[in-house]
Structure 1
């Protein structure tokens, strides 16, 4: 992350935005969460060990644009997402939030621990977030959201059927 100067107000706003985003996902308020996405959103989960490689030429666990992410949200809310019917219960811990302005955007980094409980099984997803945020009036929209796992998918229950 660049060493750009940030203000306590900007840091607080970004931190509160990330906490709000996490709460919406934990509460399965997926339409409200999706409304926070910029029309040019790029949502990625890189394959383990490939986070430093160009995503255009590297296999990604998830690599969604606005249309695909909208479809993912629609499927998760329906009974057609068999891996999430009934849906998982999740708890997200978002920590060590850092934010810095970069041109007309804000780049935010944070650590995460997402715990998923489904059908008596507890899975853990640990890693880092990178968000590129665009100011939209007094709020933010997410232009880029990258969730980089610190482990393989097998160690997290073998599937990523939730939005990290």
Structure 2
């Protein structure tokens, strides 16, 4: 069953600065995993029931239970996506694009039960075959803390783009 990420925090962070810094470090380390195509390690950042979502550009606040999403992967589908991206069969990503994930304005809110609502602005630059694509948006994630480590319950990348043109697709992990 799909779960929806909570709305972004509107009040100042209600968690200690040390926890915010730990979440920032987690996001930066995740970006490095994606930029270096260490996708199997990236996959380990998800809980067994974790989800990766990218809503359509025309319904950024859509509900995954009734609206069309560009990507709506549960853990099983996410494993399939990772395995596919790492083979020659993924023509859009072979050879792999060069990417650079930039993360700013990290906000953290405790939503109870060991869960954190984390929002951050992102820009992902994708370079491949002489083309340069830019994806801009906001992460709306739910993290759980398990023995000091963070794991994604929901990793949602909401694009600020009006449409996917000129890109036409999302073939990298945002």
Instruction: Provide TM-score, normalisation by structure 1.
Output: 0.96
The one of 16, 21, 26 equivalent to 1:12 is: 21
Q: Distance in 2 between matches of 1:71 and 1:11?
A: 32
1:7-46 to structure 2, matched below 5 A, reads 7-46=16-55
User: What residue number does 2:5 align with?
Assistant: none
User: What residue number does 1:102 align with?
Assistant: 111
Displacement of 1:154 in angstroms is 1.5
Q: Distance in 1 between matches of 2:118 and 2:89?
A: 33
Are the equivalent residues in 1 in contact too, given 2:136–2:160 (CA < 8 A)? yes
Residue segments in structure 2 that go unaligned for 5+ positions in a row: 1-8
**1:154 is aligned to 2:165:** yes
- What SS class does the counterpart of residue 28 from structure 1 fall into? coil
Displacement of 1:29 in angstroms is 0.6
CA-based RMSD of the aligned residues comes to 1.1
**1:128 is aligned to 2:120:** no
Are the equivalent residues in 1 in contact too, given 2:14–2:108 (CA < 8 A)? no
Select the structure that is richer in helix: 1
Q: Which moved more, 1:94-103 or 1:43-52?
A: 43-52
Displacement of 1:58 in angstroms is 0.7
The one of 66, 72, 75 equivalent to 1:63 is: 72
Q: Distance in 1 between matches of 2:135 and 2:23?
A: 22
Q: Distance in 1 between matches of 2:156 and 2:131?
A: 25
